[in-house]
Structure 1
Amino acid sequence: MRLPLQIVAIVLAFVPPAFAAERVLLANGFDMHCNHHTQLGSMIRLYMNPGESSYIELRPEEIASFETVPDSPPVSLASNTAGPRTDTRLNPADLNAMLATAGQQHNLDADLLASVVKAESNGNTHAVSRAGARGLMQLMPETAAEQGVVDSFRPDENVRGGSAYLNDLLVRYHDNIALALAAYNAGPAAVDKYHGIPPYHETRAYVARVIHEFNRRVLARQVYAHVGGFPSVDPASTPSQ
């Protein structure tokens, strides 16, 4: 599984919104979510679900404050999309399976693919951007054609094509994930022209957003592996920071 060395998991992890009742603001400037917490001796124990079997412990000085997480309806469309199509989402397990399969086929981390899906479409299979990009991984028609995608609104085709394209970009930029993501957003010509991430606000914000989400997922995987069991989570359901 390709895990670019440029990525270092520095941001504490998410918990699925159905379980997250508290947002924990950390002294280092980052945050995470938990269901509830309690102080035991000199440590603060953060419980990952309504029970008490899964938890992590932090020192009080590592925590700045706690906030209650309000219940909120899911976002109906990704913020960078427009168009008349209705918001259509896959069953989380089906989407996770597609991403896992695509990751195995192209030696990509499924969490990286999930992070791209979240940033591109927020899990909406019929998302259409103002520029005409379509589907889960927001394929432009010419990119879809190059990758052999007949219908970008078919989730399996879209994920297959988007994953293959991202893999091509990672190969092109020698596994530099930031450059590959910049090229995914702005096109390889722009990256080559500026010999790096183009000075476009949208592209730089996109790269930062995907990497931030990927880092959170990587650390979440580590946390859940430590406490025992990683839940199946819809890539689009993770709360944005």
Structure 2
Amino acid sequence: MVAFRFSSVMMLALAVCPMARAAEHVTLKNGFELDCVRREVVGDKIRLYLVGKRSETNYLEVAGDAVARVETIADLPLTPEDSPEVAKTLVAPMPTAPVTALTKAEMREMLAHAGGEHNIDADLLASVVRAESGGQVRAVSRTGAKGLMQLMPGTAGELGVHDAFRPEENIAGGTAYLDSLLTRYHDNLSLALAAYNAGPGAVDKYHGVPPYRETRAYVARVIREFNRRKQMTQQERPSKG
């Protein structure tokens, strides 16, 4: 059995919460960083309510001793370029060679194969695909990123991807790129995901997750989806008598 880099990162949940004015930059002991509008102790857990979410129903729940440092910060300005709704708008490209949509089984098989090649959990790859393209094979962002894992043309070329709309090529290239980022940042998942979203130059410049709302929301979104998938897998396993 292949031992993947990550089995889960942190537990997440949803609940209604009020909006607060203050903002805090929270660093967890596992290296993950995020901004939150408030913290709440619930039993032996701490709930961190996220900054940058229009919905008031989103928080991360972590162990009580998982927080390494908390800093009070000024609220970060949200520009149209930083808005996930704008930056990740997907448009249909002009039709070229037909590409058949993947079935769930085909997607799982491709992700499992690519993950096995690079020792990356297929659930993590699926979470990246969901955040990047929503599973749309012909997705194109306003910045020109293409396909399931939203590869920029230059990056795709460096990875040997000739047609970013072909699922097997896109997944292979995106997985190889994520693998290189995980290696670069010593398996720090939050930094690797931040670099996948904003570029390694931004991560290196800020020596951590860049102070971009889109990037921080992206990292949290991928990790939240990854943990959701791992929880579902655990729940589906038959209990041992």
TM-score under structure 2 normalisation? 0.64
**One of 100, 121, 126 as aligned partner of 1:114:** 126
Shift of 1:220: 1.1
Superposition deviation, residue 177 in structure 1 = 0.5
Residue pair 1:151, 1:157 contacting (<8 A) in 2 also = yes
Q: How far is 1:227 from its partner?
A: 5.1
Please, what is the CA RMSD of the aligned residues?
A: 2.8
Deviation at 1:81, TM superposition (A): 1.6
1:133-212 aligned within 5 A: 133-212=145-224
Distance in 2 of aligned mates of 1:222 and 1:9: 14
Q: Which has the higher contact order (CA 8 A, sep 6+)?
A: 1
Contact 2:6 2:120 in 1 (8 A): no
1:16-73 Cα deviation digits (max 9, x unpaired): xxxxxxxxxxx988xxxxxxxxxxxxxxxxxxxxxxxxxxxxxxxxxxxxxxxxxxxx
Give structure 1 stretches of 5+ with no counterpart.
14-26, 30-77, 229-241
Tell me the CA shift for residue 223 of structure 1: 1.0
Separation (CA, whole Å) in 1 of partners of 2:107 and 2:101: 9
In the alignment, the residues of structure 2 paired with residue 88 and residue 134 of structure 1 have an alpha-carbon distance, to the nearest angstrom, of 16
Does the alignment pair 1:8 with 2:9?
yes
Match of 1:82 in 2: 91
Q: Secondary structure at the match of 1:131?
A: coil
| Residues in 2 aligned to 1:85 and 1:177: alpha-carbon distance in whole angstroms | 35
Match of 1:101 in 2: 113
- Taking a change above 3 Å as real, the CA distance of residues 197 and 88 of structure 1, as seen in their structure-2 partners, is farther
User: Quick one: percent identity of the two aligned structures?
Assistant: 59
**Are 2:10 and 2:223, in contact at CA under 8 Å, matched by a contact in 1?**
no
TM-score by length of 1: 0.64
| Structure 1 position 88, deviation (Å) | 6.2
Aligned mates of 2:88, 2:239 — CA distance in 1? 34
